[in-house]
Amino acid sequence: MASVKLYNKSGDAKAVKIQEGIEKKFGFVPEVFQAMGRNGDFLDLAMRLPEAAGKGLDPKTKELIIIAVSAINGCEYCVDAHRSAALGVGVTDEEITAAIEVAATISLYNNFNKGIGLKSDLKTK
């Protein structure tokens, strides 16, 4: 159960219009867009931000990055949503697993290095 009120086409007029478009695409309004649906300006900006991020990256690479970061951050909702999107742009299950392996490995190193306070001595010169 969501910890905030969900606005399924019950927010402001701009949010309702955006959610109607989302519903046409998915056949329903996913909860993430309901949670953002109180304020149409916020929902509009939140939906446009992923389009602006990662210019120059192909869709497969963007989806693999999203999945890897979402997995490490523990967001099952995003992993599920973007696994579906990734498969839709031609990413394989093997590539998804590989991306998560890479993210998990670097997360281990990140946490180890932060935990013991190592001096950064492997810099590009």
Residue 125 has pLDDT above 90, yes or no: no
Q: Is residue 7 part of a domain?
A: yes
Same-domain check for residues 76 and 63: yes
Active site residues: 75, 78
Q: Is residue 125 part of a domain?
A: no
Same-domain check for residues 113 and 89: yes
Q: Give exposure, 51-65, as e/b (b: 16+ Cβ within 10 Å).
A: eeeeeeeeeeebbbb
Which pLDDT score is estimated for 93? 98
Residue partners of 114: CB distance under 8 A and separation at least 6: none
pLDDT, tens digit (0-9, with 9 covering 90-100), for 2-58: 899 999 999 999 999 999 999 999 999 999 999 999 999 999 999 999 989 999 999
Residue 68 has pLDDT above 90, yes or no: yes
Residue with tokens 């951050």: 73
Which pLDDT score is estimated for 91? 98
Same-domain check for residues 31 and 76: no
Query: For residue 34, which amino acid is it?
Result: Q
Q: Is residue 124 part of a domain?
A: no
Which pLDDT score is estimated for 90? 98
Same-domain check for residues 67 and 99: yes
pLDDT, tens digit (0-9, with 9 covering 90-100), for 78-99: 999 999 999 999 999 999 999 9
Same-domain check for residues 45 and 64: no
Domain that holds residue 106: 55-119
How many domains, the chain?
2
Which pLDDT score is estimated for 1? 79
Which pLDDT score is estimated for 67? 98
Q: What is the CATH number of the domain that holds 108?
A: 1.20.1290.10
